[in-house]
Amino acid sequence: MTKAELYDLKYTLSDFIYPRLKEFKDKVDRKNAPSVPDFSKVEHFSKDTPLEEKEKYWSELLGEMIIPFEYHVYPENFEHLELKEINEKVERGLKIFAKYFSNLWF
């Protein structure tokens, strides 16, 4: 490990996480994921909520998770946004990532 990798670890981690999380989402979107998280605590879902609706919701959450890592890898993709909006999206994405971290598996 180099000193540069540790200097600002968020960039090193983002370089690793971003492409993998993006591929994970692509697999979910192509219905190649065998499971979705237990969304029983999500207020608008019930035990009768169709799997397709849960898969769509999971895909949306993954999209929000990707934002913070994409921002640190490709900041130019966010030049059209105000800094306040970027910070809000990054904060939200990291909270979702932390909440569903243990659900990132196939």
Structural domain containing residue 85: 3-29+50-103
Asked if 99 and 62 count as a contact pair (C-beta separation under 8 A), the reply is: no
Kindly report, residue by residue over 46-103, the tens digit of the pLDDT.
888 898 999 999 999 999 999 999 999 999 999 999 999 999 999 999 999 999 999 9
Is 54 within the bounds of a domain? yes
How many structural domains compose the chain? 1
By the 8 A CB rule, do 106 and 34 touch? yes
For residue 28, what pLDDT is reported?
94
Q: Is residue 34 part of a domain?
A: no
Q: Global pTM?
A: 0.91
In a domain, 9, yes or no: yes
- The reported pLDDT for the residue numbered 43 is 79
Mapped to the 3 state alphabet, what secondary structure does the chain carry? CCHHHHHCHHHHHHHHHHHHHHHHHHHHHCCCCCCCCCCCCCCCCCCCCCHHHHHHHHHHHHHHHHHHHHHHHCHHHHCCCCHHHHHHHHHHHHHHHHHCHHHCCC
As a whole number of angstroms, the distance between CA 39 and CA 1 comes to: 39
Residue count of the chain, please give it.
106
pLDDT tens-place string over residues 12-27: 999 999 999 999 999 9
| 72 occurs within a structural domain | yes
